[in-house]
A and B are shown apart, each in its own frame.
Chain A
């Protein structure tokens, strides 16, 4: 089966600019997640979707981050305006059955804010 697709792979922007990331999960996976991973650390959950509804966005900095999952399939994560501390890898993952069998991650988008 095809994996989780993410684009772009890399992005360099100046602080205060905006950026958007795209994710296409594995077909049939109802749950989609966006994680932020600082270099050398474990991923931190930003937002979790069940189909096209948000089930957890408690750690999403809502003043600058937004995410949507239209039609319960693809998802986009946006940052506006970006700050230097947003430099990280943004990982998208999807799962079946609430993650009981594990998550499948995409390769991530490495964001550098200068």
Chain B
């Protein structure tokens, strides 16, 4: 059974601070996807990382996929109040030809002005 452990579960920081969210598993994934969800809305895809060791940057957000494709991290530089939300990592694996996506528990980020 594939499981994704996400940490921390809650994070409350001041605007301008840096933060890192971790996503860990004992399973290997085909890819790792990061989503952001705001209250009353569905998750929105931020990025997909596919290759072990891959690093992707999206403005102030940096995503990294572990060399063994079992873990990932999201680093936010100089957080802004607009970054507030629920951040979800999700691992894609295949059972036969069927792709399946499992989600971590999420990290609730609050950025205070």
Q: What total of chain B residues lie within 8 Å of the partner, measured CB to CB? A: 29
- The answer on a CB contact under 8 Å between A98 and B98 is yes
- Chain A residues, CB < 8 A from B86: 40
Apart from A98-B92, A103-B101, what 13 extra A-B contacts exist at CB < 8 Å?
A4-B42, A42-B90, A43-B88, A43-B103, A45-B100, A45-B101, A50-B98, A91-B42, A100-B31, A102-B33, A102-B45, A107-B40, A108-B41
Report how far A107 CA is from B43 CA in the complex, Å. 8
* Cross-chain pair count, CB within 8 angstroms: 69
- The answer on a CB contact under 8 Å between B42 and A98 is no
Report how far A73 CA is from B101 CA in the complex, Å. 21
Q: Known contacts A91-B42, A106-B42: does B94 contact A42 (CB below 8 Å)? A: no
Give B50's nearest chain A residue, CB to CB. A100
Give B104's nearest chain A residue, CB to CB. A42
Q: What total of chain A residues lie within 8 Å of the partner, measured CB to CB? A: 29
- 9 nearest A-B pairs in the assembled complex, by CB-CB distance: A98-B99, A105-B42, A42-B103, A102-B45, A99-B99, A42-B106, A42-B105, A55-B98, A43-B103
- The answer on a CB contact under 8 Å between A103 and B106 is no
Give A33's nearest chain B residue, CB to CB. B101
- Chain B residues, CB < 8 A from A48: 98, 100
Give A99's nearest chain B residue, CB to CB. B99
